[in-house]
Structure 1
Amino acid sequence: MSTPPVSLEGLIGSRRLWRGQSVQIAPSAQPTGHAALDAALPTGGWPEAALTELLLPHAGVGELRLLWPALARLSRAAPEHEAGMIVLVDPPLLPYAPAWRDAGVALSRLQVVRASGRDALWAAEQCLRSGACAAVLCWPQRADDRALRRLQVAAESGQCLGFALREARAALNPSPAALRIAIDAAPAQLRVLKCRGGNAPTRAIAFAPESAAVDRNPIQRPRPLVREPEVGGAVVPLRAKAARPETSRADAANDPPAAYPPAAVEAVAARTVATLPPLQR
């Protein structure tokens, strides 16, 4: 004996079946600056007050070129007193001030936090939560789901854009980040793995830096970094470092830094001040 068909409307009306309601996600007020990526994201830009993960095969595949348009806009917000700080927590290489300046980022709003391991995660969380930052970039090493969730909650609390730059293999593990993007080197493309507010696009997005020369030197020298007097705890000013001729990777690690000639850039970088309150444990 066959079972008589049951209408869908009847099941819903008798409350035997629950129908989820679609959630309206407001458009983002923080466009990425890359039209193809904005068109692919449900909100049309970076998720606000949230953590975004960028998964990289190695450093220098265009991750800074991807972020610079938004960072430049945030660092030059008007009126000036409303512009938050752009903080780099434990970058793998020393930021190269002329490249950041040429990308439109106001160096007076750029800060570097030197830390390592769990201290770097703690510093990133405090900066995200402080309310004094417009964006925080961090390079967490061996961060687990609990550590990433703390960063996500801190970004929500401080109404800050958070960016965690991690190794590509981290894509195998779940993440509480609102947006996850894998950057491929060959071919140069972006793959959206997860996005809040809709399904991730199935097709990769072509991504070719406009200027290979600028992208090649966004950061100057590998660790160890030159120590400078600390200002306000762990926050130190960004300073322009020596420009060097093109060398092989093997020679680059051993080249001594030379004096950086353009006095104008050095003067701009020297005016950088630490406006964040001291970080207290």
Structure 2
Amino acid sequence: MKPVLEQLLRGQDQIWRGLQTDSANGIATGFAELDALLPGGGWPSGALMHWQLPQVGVGELPLLLPAMASLSRQGRRIVWLAPPYQAYAPGLQQAGVELGQLLVVACPEAADLPWALEVLLRSGGCGMALAWPKRPLAAHQTRRLQLAAEAGNALAVLFAVGHAAQARHAALQLALRRESGGLRLRIAKARGSLRQLDLLLAI
């Protein structure tokens, strides 16, 4: 690359340059084989993830527990917005999650969820936010959430349960399904990679 262009690009953090990744930006998933596949070596920090589920409870929370535990031990707040089930404190504690860092928000009005999530992500005090919207979010809403996650250096996870909604502004899109051998992950999009990835985790 020409030196002048290289110099201009060096100061532009928002420009993705081909297959270039920053391994320092990944949040370890707790699963070595998954970390090896993901750009950055883990879940993307300061980013929105969109997870498609056939139904609640296929294994989405066990997949996130190691990251939740790690972030909570660093003093980062873990927020659940409109969860479809009650948080089971003993199980979370056994997984290493600091319960004092966990906040559960009911969000009874579906229209309030995108706003509440954006505020939390921008606050700078939230390490990870999990959200279960009752209906698909619009493209402009997911874009705002991605920008908010970047601004607050937070990880946001949107769960799309039972519908094939897309969130094209999300840094990572994946679909989960339970199989006899474990949990099947199909990564349709990961910022920093041009490949679609497929993995079976024994969890």
Q: TM-score range, shorter-chain basis? A: 0.7 to 0.9
Amino acid in structure 1 at the alignment position of 2:150 = E
Larger radius of gyration: 1
| Greater RCO, CA 8 A, separation 6+ | 2
Aligned twin of 1:65: 62
Q: What's the Cα RMSD here?
A: 1.8
Larger proportion of strand = 2
Cα shift readout 1:8-28 (whole Å, capped 9, x = no counterpart):
xxxxxxxxxxxxx63622113
User: Identity rate of aligned residues, in percent?
Assistant: 43
Contact 2:81 2:117 in 1 (8 A): yes
Query: Shift of residue 136 of structure 1?
Result: 0.7
Aligned twin of 1:80: none
Within 1, Cα distance between the matches of 2:150 and 2:71?
Answer: 17
What is the 5 A alignment of 1:1-281?
Answer: 22=18, 24-27=20-23, 28-77=25-74, 83-115=75-107, 116-142=109-135, 143-167=137-161, 169-171=163-165, 173-187=166-180, 188-202=183-197, 204-209=198-203
What is the SS of the residue equivalent to 2:86? strand
Contact 2:18 2:192 in 1 (8 A): no
Contact 1:31 1:38 in 2 (8 A): yes
Q: Structure 1: any 5+ residue segments left out of the alignment?
A: 1-20, 78-82, 210-281
Structure 1 runs of 4+ aligned residues shifted over 6 Å read none
Query: Shift of residue 169 of structure 1?
Result: 3.1
Contact 1:73 1:105 in 2 (8 A): yes
Cα shift readout 1:33-61 (whole Å, capped 9, x = no counterpart):
11111111122111110101111110111
Query: Shift of residue 168 of structure 1?
Result: 5.1
Task: Using structure 1 for the length normalisation, give the TM-score.
Answer: 0.62
Cα shift readout 1:214-244 (whole Å, capped 9, x = no counterpart):
xxxxxxxxxxxxxxxxxxxxxxxxxxxxxxx
Cα shift readout 1:182-228 (whole Å, capped 9, x = no counterpart):
111135311111000012344x211232xxxxxxxxxxxxxxxxxxx
Task: Using structure 2 for the length normalisation, give the TM-score.
Answer: 0.84
Aligned length: 183
What is the SS of the residue equivalent to 1:131? coil
